[in-house]
Structure 1
Amino acid sequence: MKSTKVVINAHEISIILGLSIRQAQRYRRQILAELGKKHHQAVTYEEFSVYSGIPLEVVLKACFGATCTKL
């Protein structure tokens, strides 16, 4: 079975949104607060997509390249 990465990190957020890494970390913390998660928990691609309003397919393409369609 092939393992697939399902969580987004601040570096990927900075690339997608065109933010500095520090602003991306802040944005990730805002998502965690909105979802009621603690600071050590992860943000999934789906959660990021819903929060940012960017379609999931666009997020996955930006993170994995043109070969990925959906998880």
Structure 2
Amino acid sequence: MNNTKLVINANEISIILGVSLRQAQRHRRQILNELGKKNHQVVTYEEFSEYSGIPLEVVLKACLGR
């Protein structure tokens, strides 16, 4: 079984976008609202990639080093 992390957190969003942690939390909340998810649910790398317009490969490389 492959133990690969599938979700992105606010710390990673702040690094990728170059914004403060608070701004990254707002971005995460906006993604959740657009997807119709609740605050306790997670955002996947694919969902963040689609929302931000950043290619998935770039997001994965920044977060996972792949």
Name the TM tier (shorter chain). Answer: over 0.9
What is the TM-score with the length of structure 1 in the denominator?
Answer: 0.91
- Percentage of pairs with the same residue: 80
Q: Alpha-carbon deviations, 1:12-71, whole Å to 9, x = none?
A: 000000000000000000000000000000000000000000000000000011xx2xxx
What is the TM-score with the length of structure 2 in the denominator?
Answer: 0.97
Gaps of 5+ in 2: none
Segments ≥4 residues shifted beyond 2 Å: none
Q: Structure 1 or 2: larger helix share? A: 2
Gaps of 5+ in 1: none
Over the aligned positions, Cα root-mean-square deviation in angstroms equals 0.5
Code of the aligned partner of 2:11: H
- Would you say how many aligned residue pairs link Structure 1 and Structure 2? 66
